Structure 1
Amino acid sequence: LYFAPHLEEGIMVGVGLTFGLFIYQHLRPRVAILSKAKDDSLKDAVKADLKECRHIAVVRFDGSLIFANATYLEDRVLDYIAEKPELRHILIASKGINDMDASGEDAISILIDTVRSSGLEISFCGLKEEVLAVMERTHLIDKLGRENIYPDSREALDSMYKQIHAQVNCNDCPLKSYLPIVH
């Protein structure tokens, strides 16, 4: 009732709160490390209590890659690289990326440079047409390399498994078969 005589102030407060809530929700989208589950799908390794591959990290980003969260994906990937010294390849599972603006494109470009300067490889799978169009328009797809874009995670992992595990001994890779964490 306080705002009843001042309707325009109430509207402004409502718009401000809505915008604030939007920004807050988009600052930290969900980022999950995936591993093979019992049903042969990739699931959040932490939530499903699954082992993670020491050499390949499958990282899922759930949200639009926009100005509000452009560096968040990079920060999470760098944290993961620091935690896993045997890591050789990062696969970004991109089905959850619905949109990408100029800030997101710039963040991906920096992520590619950073991952490669760490001596690791990076690939993407499951990119939506809208995101691929942005990557084509900005020539980001050329920087990444078309050979590092896969239609789905199964094809990506089959290719990576041969490349990475031929160099290192990983007969019990949790990306090839279901391996729960035993407590």
Structure 2
Amino acid sequence: MKLKQVVVFCASSPGHESIFMESARMVGEALVSREINLVYGGGRVGLMGAIADSVMANYGEVYGVIPKFLNSKEIGHRDITQLMEVDTMHERKAKMNLLCDGVIALPGGFGTMEELFEMLTWGQLGLHQKPIGLLNVDGFYDHLILFIEHMVKTGLLKKENQQMLLFANDIHELIDKMEAYEAPAVPKWLNLEQS
């Protein structure tokens, strides 16, 4: 499936290593080169701002979704294709899900993790069949990938659900994997009914 619009979850801070900001800019360039629009959290700061600026600088389209309480603190990005304001964080995720064909997580903190795992959970439950990818910048997600393997080894996560999370060190390789993705045939809730 050719991706047309991708949600990118990432940090609202730049981090301590310059490679994080550089990677966000490279992802922006890659999205435009592959004619994929960006959907993101609407901020103008940190990795969020860097990827949005990169897409805009390369003549791509950027759609931001931001809750009113964050927009009122003047962190909303005004120089993008469209900035949509919603009431809550829950509405933000629901709106971003409606607007996208897939999800990419760049390095981030608690917010990025929460967004990533909610989208994974929705996929696991069969609420969507969209590809979800981790861009493993400079080994940032190495420990998370190992922890997810541990979940499978302990019998608390099914192998087919582990395989829903795609990952790569290179953005073009990650997009290729996402475009080739096939969702699990049976959602988790049906598996529970059958057991």
- TM-score w.r.t. length of structure 1: 0.39
State which structure, 1 or 2, has the greater radius of gyration over its C-alpha atoms: 1
Taking structure 2 as the reference length, what is the TM-score of the superposition? 0.37
